[in-house]
Structure 1
């Protein structure tokens, strides 16, 4: 409000009193007469002149040399502006002895790349009120609006705001809206500001948006692969790593709880007793199909977390799933059940474990020694069962999943203290069921352990 008061004060100080009939207007720095822009029912001259902000070194003794533009305007039309209405009111009328009813007003115009343009357009609107014909693009409204605010032309201000509220903006136009918004009355600027900023009461809207995107990628689109790729790109480019970390952790925990619930229903002895065989088989089939689908979603989330190096909580949670691992072992030992109803489940679970374990081995995800040990201890039994059932499955399964996970687990064991590694290595003897030439990873792991175990204690007394 103080800015508009200063603008009104600066402009009114340059208002000339009524004088003798004006001579033909002239352009700046020229002795030739300039064309006079005249509006209908004109009875007043208005001179627009550039008003550059003077510096202390400027010579301000020749203001008449500044560029100007003369217009022949209607005082009745100018009265639509509260600023001009005040200037033309009784307080600003000439003395009764004035010899001429005609007069001239002066209005200072800030220096810009298009001098006088916005002021002329606003003056034209004061005479025509043709807002629809004049305001055809956001740039038009943004050029006109500051002048309309300066001259207190309320109808024009309202028209500009209504237009800006209803149309899209470019990034530069949005920046201009933000610059001018503080000059607008709060109620008139509310709709504009709602597009570029959130209300103070809004709570973590970015998190809510990311949650919605992940949910849609998993559940809500008929082309999930393309949608998941797009959401993955948005997550990777999102500027707040902490926000993405939190959202992915919550989505991972939600999917994990669903898988645990479904597998728990399958393994529950109460369910097996309470339901007759036909109904039980139908329900179990539905549960296993849902489990496969949710493990697929879980694997996609794990991929995103590992790629963005925010999988530390996921590794910790996965290392604690002793009950889930036990339920999966029960399922996998029931060959007829999972082969008929969920043939892809062993491969999916192995891939989830492999992706998390491999991120630990190569340093993408840093977790404590206790978490590394629990990860191997919890999921090694599942790996052993998967190895046993892999042979009847398609030829690529065993080499591309189980053996990779064997090697990764042995590498994690190599990062543990000698005594902890001893306990886990003894559970890895099943890796030697192939010929010695095919289990060099196990041979290397034991040689490393024996070399370390034979070394004299370090840092203690002799």
Structure 2
């Protein structure tokens, strides 16, 4: 047979077709849930019993909690080699663990043979279990006898010397409870306990005090009380301390110093102290400080004040004594100035020093009048100001810049009478108009230019309404006097047209209608 030679290309094709295709390359994978020997999908060969024991022992070591350096772990491993020897740190809490949930049904699997473990010396010392009922947490303590010695509540619950379980009622924070128990176990002096509480702060110390009260832990109570007595608190913390001390009155002797910060041993009347404060302000010399202090005392006396006042009524006689003193000083300043006036000089002008004293006393009198009006005790001030003949007679000879200060006091009285805050009889109302209505017509223009906080619109309305409370005959005399002043001074005089119209209708229009 003739032989045929294949081409080199065909021979190469046949050689490639006879090669086996390589299996696809698997990506690398590492499963943390499997044993390293089964990560590639291969079934491991059964290991001998000794090897299986070593593997399970290694897994148990890895499953333990990692302890951070410098901190005692709340859970101790009973199988560790250090469990037999009790170190100094073991005097602290030995176990804090949350109550475990109900166990899930176990999966059916063949029981693994238990590895041979080295014998471990079991604890022979009793254990105290404190269960925080609201939190569902159990605190285990080894030093049972020491806790029984420090806590009267535990001593009553545990009759014998052995350990047991104590239920702690109330919503107690776990860390606060740990702190209180650690204070029982630690051999600390008072200074060390104070430093321990200072690290947690005031709020933490109050919580520890509450736990110490519940456990009847006298040493912890005394340490917390001494720490809280030496540091400042805010108002919410103060309320917590008050509640705790009121609930545990048996510790009154230990909390005497702390109670002295909350309530005076001999309570005094706040009204007497307020009178002293008012008198101090009127005798002060610094204008800015006097203004701030007036604002402070006014806030304390306000009916909507946040301060709790035991007695809200002030001594009326004491306040009026201060008013008489201020008014006497005001008269003395004007009399000293008038003594310096020459015989041919018709207008009295005072210097800078006396002028500042006048401003000061007028501010004090207006402030005192406002306090009396708010307390509905200002009616006698109307008599006091209406009968001040010395200043009213001197008014015409004073310079306008000075005499308008006197009209500020009159303005406040007119506003209070027109708004119904001063309940004076008709004679008192007419006497104040007789003494100070004409000076008010003269000084109104200056009060408009230098109001100093005075509401001029309210002043016009107050004068008109107060005028309408007088008899029609008295109104006629005063309105005619205003009419002449307004026709000559214009807007330099208060605008009482609305009140004038009311008076005219009452006097003539309605009376004529009723007669007809």
Q: State the TM-score, normalizing by the size of structure 1.
A: 0.63
2:476 maps to which residue? Answer: 422
In 2, Cα distance between the equivalents of 1:111 and 1:266? 69
Name the SS for the 1:176 alignment partner.
helix
**Alpha-carbon distance change, 238 to 77 in structure 1, aligned in 2, over 3 angstroms:** closer
Matched, 1:123 2:212: no
Shift of 1:46: 0.8
Alpha-carbon offset, residue 165 of structure 1:
1.2
Contact 2:134 2:169 in 1 (8 A): yes
Sort the Cα spacing of 1:211 and 1:238 in 2 relative to 1 into closer, same or farther, 3 A. farther
Mapping of residues 31-46 of structure 1, within 5 Å: 43-46=125-128
The aligned runs of 1:13-412 (5 Å cut-off) are 28-29=99-100, 43-51=125-133, 68-73=138-143, 75-76=145-146, 78-82=148-152, 92-93=160-161, 103-112=162-171, 114-115=173-174, 117-130=175-188, 131-136=193-198, 137-182=201-246, 183=248, 184-199=250-265, 201-205=266-270, 208-209=273-274, 212=277, 215-216=280-281, 219=284, 221=286, 223-224=288-289, 225-236=291-302, 237-238=304-305, 246-247=313-314, 253-262=320-329, 265=332, 290-302=357-369, 304-305=370-371, 310=374, 312-314=376-378, 316-324=380-388, 326-335=389-398, 339=399, 344-363=401-420, 367-383=424-440, 386=442, 396=449, 408-412=462-466
Query: What's the CA shift string for 1:121-177, capped at 9, x where partnerless?
Result: 233212214423431222332222233334443222111110111122233322321
- In 1, Cα distance between equivalents of 2:391 and 2:146: 87
Distance 2:127 2:457 in 1: 92
**Are residues 251 and 344 of structure 1, via their aligned partners in 2, closer, same or farther at CA, if it must alter by over 3 Å?**
farther
Following superposition, the deviation at residue 187 of structure 1 comes to 1.6
Other-structure match for 2:22 = none
Structure whose residues are more often helix by fraction: 1
Shift of 1:81: 3.9
Does the Cα contact within 8 Å between 2:330 and 2:361 map onto a contact in 1?
no
Considering only CA atoms, is the larger Rg found in Structure 1 or Structure 2?
2
Does the aligned pair in 2 maintain the 1:354–1:401 contact within 8 Å? no
Helix, strand or coil: the match of 1:219? coil
Q: Please tell me whether the aligned partners of residues 267 and 327 of structure 1 are also in contact (alpha carbons under 8 angstroms).
A: no
Point out where structure 2 has 5 or more consecutive residues left out of the alignment.
1-93, 104-122, 340-347
Per the normalisation by structure 2, the TM-score is: 0.57
Q: How far does residue 316 in structure 1 lie from its aligned partner after superposition? A: 4.6
Higher RCO (C-alpha 8 Å, min separation 6)? 1
- Report if aligned partners of 2:144, 2:163 keep a CA contact under 8 Å in 1: no
Aligned with 2:238: secondary structure? helix
1:190-214: CA deviation from partner (whole Å, max 9, x where unpaired): 2223333344x42322662575278
Is the Cα contact below 8 Å between 1:255 and 1:297 reproduced in 2? no
Is the CA contact 2:376–2:422 (under 8 Å) kept in the aligned structure 1? yes
How many residue pairs match? The answer is 381
